[in-house]
Structure 1
Amino acid sequence: MKKIIYASIIGALSIVSCKTVKNEDQNKAKKAVEVSKKTSQNSTVIDSSLVRKHLYTLASDDMKGRKPGTEGMEKATKYIESEYKRIGLKHFKGLDSYRQTFTHNGIEMSNIIGVLEGTTKKDEYVIISAHHDHLGEKKDGEGDRIFNGANDDASGVTGVLALADYYAKKGTNERSILFVCFTAEEMGLVGSKYFGKDIDPSKFVAGINLELIGKEPKTGPKTAWLTGFDRSDFGKIIQKNLEGTGYKLFPDPYTKFNLFFRSDNASLARLGVPSHTFSTTPIDIDADYHKVSDEAETLDVGILTETVKAVAKGTESIINGKDTPTRVVIEE
């Protein structure tokens, strides 16, 4: 009898021991997965080589200045679509492709929209945008006749594509992100106005517009400026998130130019969305603005890359649903 009892005790202890080891193994495996996820997220970077590729492709002579309705613009559109597809972005509601197509002044044109769905707040949208059009080509004259539009606004589109790649790999966005390349900004914010006609503004939490972000601003290295800084607390949220990074965001230093209303952010801001434009270019002394000399070689890929990184870090709490900027009120 004693032998039987002893054997029973040994067996029971063996079972407990096995369960303990199994539980420990499961906990170790769980921790390993968590560490792996954190490592993967921390290793997600804005790659300067990818930034360079986007910039030099979009601002190349092959794009012929990206004027709406031209072959060059179609090439630019296809390039952006191919990147959206590679990244894995979804189509916006009601669309069967990345194109939101419409006709303006007899010209068929398209906004290019990709969606990265959020998790707990998927019905709340943050829009990251830039305009992919420019001025096309000079009709006559000698020498260079292509308005490549590298800084204006291939730099911004490069930022949109780099951020789409970054957020898709990171996979931590609680809110849904719309990546939009607006058309015909140079013709009077045509694309963004069209987009604004068919949305529910109350579902749009913030607008992050990128324009002219490839040169060092007058505020110095590792800085950018934001249009309409005092119209919401969007800029203050960004400043707080950038604390300790060595990068700083300043209010728009060019108040006399009324820049808040001169880029695509304005179309959403007029609907109440806290939508603002990031820029770095010293536009008061920029010799290349709307000139054929606005080519990729005149930009600093390092500055462009650092700016995109700052946008990612600065908007992180908004993307993740922790902060919600105050709404914009426009008094006409």
Structure 2
Amino acid sequence: MVSTPLVESLKFDQSSAVQMVSIGADKTFLTEYRTLSRPGTSKRIILVDPKFTEEFNRYRAGTFRERAIDKKDIKTGDQPATIFILDTAKIASTFSVEIKNNIIEDKLFNVAGMIPGKSKPNEFVIFSGHYDHLGIGKAVDQDSINNGADDDASGTTAMIALAKYYKKLNNNERTLLFVAFTAEESGGFGARYFSEQLNPDDVVAMFNIEMIGKDSKFGPNTAYITGYDKSDFGKILQKNLEGTEFTFHPDPYPSQNLFYRSDNATLAALGVPAHTISTVQIDQDKLYHTVKDEYSSLDTENIYSTIKGIAKSAIGIVKGVDTPTRVPKMAPRQ
């Protein structure tokens, strides 16, 4: 199992400065793996105790999955690398390591539409979902297609429905952008590219919609908002829902770090009140990222009620009456 910067190829042997590390049976594999797989500055060989064979193989399968990368992120020349080996034996005095990645250049596409604002055309409100998923995977009961009905056809359905709704209302004072992002599952590259095409200071709010195909843990007519405490976005939405059956709650899964795991994250890091609205019970959804995430598993009434809740709650922001506070900016990675 290999962790390296994005390189086309890399070679090294015992003559290189290589650090030897072990993950012993007394350690917690996930904790050690997350720490050691972060980008480093040296070459490392990590010996993993066979006690962790199951976890090792699961993460190893993930490292070989096809993923999207930005061409400009590909590194050249000598680079650091971390090699995980499932063995407790010592490394031989002479060895060589060769890493090759098969890089195929392709084009990715976001799909976007716009309804110009009447009095505040330079203030943008974004509604989004992602239209990609995991593609072809390991077959289960002869089914190898990851359709992603909940993740995130439910979200893109909401985005399209909201576009039709606001187009019909024709009363938006701010410009509304409706975006179906690509490559969310492989690194959020669609959202990252999009965030580079506009001034984040002009974006008043972002409603990113992710997995609304089943009841939330709070029951029908509810959804939760990630990063609820990072701006007053959620409070504004809930204020506009007074007198209705629908309620927004703070994200009940803070340990899952959901605020930084969807397409809102890129713009949020730039200070935009960009939040994800979801109903998925992420801690117990057995269909998440499986071939069983099919249309037949969806609760369409839940999707419908959530779309209505978003439409009503967003009205103050859409009309230019409400302006959420900004999210604290994140320092750029070094």
Q: TM range, normalised to the smaller chain? A: 0.5 to 0.7
Cα distance in structure 2, aligned partners of 1:177 and 1:282:
29
Cα distance in structure 2, aligned partners of 1:275 and 1:109:
23
Report how far residue 153 of structure 1 moved: 0.2
Alignment partner of 2:135: what SS? Answer: coil
Cα distance in structure 2, aligned partners of 1:106 and 1:331:
31
Cα distance in structure 2, aligned partners of 1:105 and 1:260:
31
Query: Once superposed, which parts of structure 1, at least 4 consecutive aligned residues long, lie more than 6 Å away?
Result: none
Q: What is aligned with 2:152?
A: 153
Contact 1:121 1:176 in 2 (8 A): yes
Q: What is aligned with 2:221?
A: 222
Q: What is aligned with 1:184?
A: 183
Letter in 2 for 1:129: S
Q: What is aligned with 1:254?
A: 253
Q: Percent identity over the alignment?
A: 51
Cα distance in structure 2, aligned partners of 1:127 and 1:316:
13
Alignment partner of 1:305: what SS? Answer: helix
Cα distance in structure 2, aligned partners of 1:105 and 1:232:
40
Cα distance in structure 2, aligned partners of 1:145 and 1:301:
24
Report how far residue 139 of structure 1 moved: 5.8
Normalising by structure 1, we get a TM-score of: 0.68
Cα distance in structure 1, aligned partners of 2:301 and 2:159:
16
Which one has a larger percent helix, Structure 1 or Structure 2?
1
Q: What is aligned with 2:211?
A: 212
Q: What is aligned with 1:309?
A: 308
Contact 1:68 1:133 in 2 (8 A): no
Contact 1:68 1:183 in 2 (8 A): no
Max radius of gyration: which structure? 1
Report how far residue 169 of structure 1 moved: 0.6
Q: What is aligned with 1:243?
A: 242
Cα distance in structure 2, aligned partners of 1:305 and 1:125:
25
Cα distance in structure 1, aligned partners of 2:243 and 2:284:
30
Contact 2:140 2:291 in 1 (8 A): no
Q: What is aligned with 2:51?
A: none
Report how far residue 291 of structure 1 moved: 0.4
**CA-based RMSD:** 1.7
Alignment partner of 2:110: what SS? Answer: strand
Which one has a larger percent strand, Structure 1 or Structure 2?
2
Report how far residue 232 of structure 1 moved: 0.3
Report how far residue 330 of structure 1 moved: 3.3
Cα distance in structure 1, aligned partners of 2:140 and 2:221:
39
Contact 1:68 1:109 in 2 (8 A): no
Q: What is aligned with 1:118?
A: 117
Alignment partner of 1:187: what SS? Answer: coil
Structure 2 spans left out of the alignment, 5+ residues: 1-65, 69-102
Report how far residue 142 of structure 1 moved: 5.2
Letter in 2 for 1:190: F
Q: What is aligned with 1:107?
A: 106
Cα displacement string for residues 65-106 of structure 1 (whole angstroms, at most 9, x for unaligned residues): xx999xxxxxxxxxxxxxxxxxxxxxxxxxxxxxxxxxx962
Structure 1 spans left out of the alignment, 5+ residues: 1-66, 70-103
Cα distance in structure 2, aligned partners of 1:330 and 1:200:
14
Distance 1:293-1:232 versus aligned 2 partners, 3 A rule? same
Contact 1:225 1:251 in 2 (8 A): yes
Letter in 1 for 2:145: I
Cα distance in structure 2, aligned partners of 1:113 and 1:139:
32
Letter in 2 for 1:204: V
